[in-house]
């Protein structure tokens, strides 16, 4: 059995830089627990001058989806890999060769090593076999994965020894459970990276959260409140141009997005100023009239709001006139984001409904 040349060289020199792998199955968007595994592997490699291999575990043809979603999710999260992606399905010949070397065919035509199935009767390699062979061939020194794989470790170590190699070191981390302590799933509304992205959580916040978890020894409960706080911080630290680009709106509306707690809310705030409201009926003609005068007078947004407050103006009426909503971004920011003639148009439209 030949070792991957790099690993052989490493062993010979006695100073082996670690080689780790992240090995997701191609199942749509990355599950949050797998994202934790990916981040932990990247950090482990970075801290030790090691190498991260991305391997796609696609031995289960029936369940396979396109791996594209997983690659995009990793890129979104900012997890880069040094080698791969290697698809296990592309290495089936090598896996079959290894299976025949360490296993024997049973009555049904499957190839087994002891109780472990290596090849199904149709000749397709199993996850256990492919994984054992790939750890050896790619010189993997440390396998870092979720505690749900503990039972596989015994099986895979045994196969690796049968292949004539030393098993890597196995490190298992606790799983991310739902806030209710049950297996994290769709039911919890935030089980995949796609869920968090759709909820407007910036990638930086998700990455920070996963880095904070590190390599949990025990299972942890998903802390949505913590993720939301990190999202606010991440949005605060985005530059104006970057925030505008993320949300896909012109930089002129950045001020209204500044108080947003996530990127979905940021978009909603931006849209309030980008298009005039459909309905903005209000009932404070004096306030609107005063507002009109102040805008005509060329006052800046801050002074304008201060003036209205000083005369006991109905600020909510101004907000509704400008955005059609009773709540939303800071009124000063809304006023500052709209050109003078647009302010007047919206106020006049509201006044005409009186």
Pairwise CA distance, residues 352 & 349, whole Å: 5
Q: Is the peptide bond before 7 cis (omega within 30 degrees of 0)?
A: no
With binding defined as CB under 6 A, does residue 149 bind ligand GLU? Answer: yes
Smaller CB distance to ligand GLU: residue 30 or 288?
30
Binding to ligand GLU (CB under 6 A): which residues in 40-79? 57
- End-to-end CA separation in angstroms for the chain: 86
Sole window of 7-15, 17-25, 78-86, 342-350 interacting with ligand GLU (rule: CB under 6 A): 17-25
Smaller CB distance to ligand GLU: residue 57 or 262?
57
Pairwise CA distance, residues 210 & 256, whole Å: 29
Q: How far is the CB of 76 from ligand GLU (least distance, A)?
A: 18
With binding defined as CB under 6 A, does residue 131 bind ligand GLU? Answer: yes
Q: How far is the CB of 85 from ligand GLU (least distance, A)?
A: 13
Answer for which of 145, 207, 268, 290 binds ligand GLU (CB under 6 A) is 145
Pairwise CA distance, residues 172 & 148, whole Å: 8
**Nearest C-alpha neighbor of 52 from the set 23, 17, 24, 81:** 81
- Per DSSP bridges, beta strands 116-119 and 111-113 are antiparallel
Task: Count residues near ligand GLU (CB under 6 A).
Answer: 8
With binding defined as CB under 6 A, does residue 255 bind ligand GLU? Answer: no
Binding to ligand GLU (CB under 6 A): which residues in 212-241? none
Tokens at residue 15, please?
A: 């100073």
CB-CB contact of 173 with 143 (8 Å): no
Smaller CB distance to ligand GLU: residue 183 or 226?
183
∠ Cα 36 79 31 (to 5°) = 35
Buried b (16+ CB within 10 A) or exposed e, 123-146: ebbbbbbbbbbbbbbbbbbbbbbb
Smaller CB distance to ligand GLU: residue 36 or 333?
36
- Per DSSP bridges, beta strands 176-177 and 169-173 are unpaired
With binding defined as CB under 6 A, does residue 85 bind ligand GLU? Answer: no
Q: How far is the CB of 38 from ligand GLU (least distance, A)?
A: 10
Q: How far is the CB of 170 from ligand GLU (least distance, A)?
A: 9
Q: How far is the CB of 30 from ligand GLU (least distance, A)?
A: 9
Q: How far is the CB of 185 from ligand GLU (least distance, A)?
A: 15
**Nearest C-alpha neighbor of 285 from the set 321, 309, 330, 332:** 321
With binding defined as CB under 6 A, does residue 208 bind ligand GLU? Answer: no
Answer for which of 7, 20, 23, 53 binds ligand GLU (CB under 6 A) is 23
Binding to ligand GLU (CB under 6 A): which residues in 154-193? none
Q: How many other β-carbons are positioned within 10 Å of the β-carbon of residue 96?
A: 18
With binding defined as CB under 6 A, does residue 125 bind ligand GLU? Answer: no
Residues that bind ligand GLU (CB under 6 A): 23-25, 34, 57, 131, 145, 149
């Amino acid at each position: 059995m030949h070792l991957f040349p790099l690993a052989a060289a490493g062993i010979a020199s006695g100073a082996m830089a670690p080689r780790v792998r992240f090995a997701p199955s191609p199942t749509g968007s990355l599950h949050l627990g797998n994202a934790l595994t990916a981040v932990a592997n990247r950090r482990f490699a970075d801290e030790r001058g090691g190498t991260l291999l991305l391997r796609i575990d696609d031995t289960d043809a029936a369940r396979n989806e396109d791996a594209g979603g997983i690659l995009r999710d990793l890129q979104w999260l900012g997890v880069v890999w040094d080698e791969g992606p290697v698809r296990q399905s592309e290495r089936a010949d090598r896996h079959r060769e290894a299976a025949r070397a360490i296993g024997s065919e049973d009555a049904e035509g499957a190839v087994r090593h002891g109780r472990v199935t290596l090849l199904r009767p149709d000749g397709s390699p199993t996850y256990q076999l492919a994984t054992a062979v790939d750890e050896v061939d790619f010189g993997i020194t440390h396998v870092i994965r979720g505690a749900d794989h503990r039972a596989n470790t015994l099986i895979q170590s045994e196969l690796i020894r049968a292949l004539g190699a030393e098993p890597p070191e196995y490190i298992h981390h606790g799983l991310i459970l739902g806030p209710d302590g049950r297996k994290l799933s769709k039911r919890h509304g935030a089980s995949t990276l796609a869920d968090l992205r759709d909820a407007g959580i910036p990638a930086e916040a998700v990455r920070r959260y996963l880095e904070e978890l590190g390599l949990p020894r025990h299972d942890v409960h998903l802390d949505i409140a913590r993720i939301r706080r990190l999202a606010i911080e991440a949005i605060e630290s985005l530059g104006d141009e970057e925030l505008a680009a993320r949300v896909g709106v012109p930089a002129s509306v950045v001020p209204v997005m500044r108080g947003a707690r996530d990127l979905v809310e940021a978009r909603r705030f931006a849209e309030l100023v980008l298009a005039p409201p459909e309905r903005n009926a209000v009932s404070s003609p004096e306030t609107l009239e005063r507002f009109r005068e102040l805008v005509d007078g060329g006052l800046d947004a801050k002074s304008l709001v201060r003036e209205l407050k000083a005369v006991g103006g109905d600020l909510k009426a101004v907000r509704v006139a400008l955005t059609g909503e009773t709540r939303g971004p800071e009124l000063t920011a809304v006023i500052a984001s709209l050109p003078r003639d647009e302010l007047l148009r919206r106020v006049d439209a509201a006044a005409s409904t009186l």
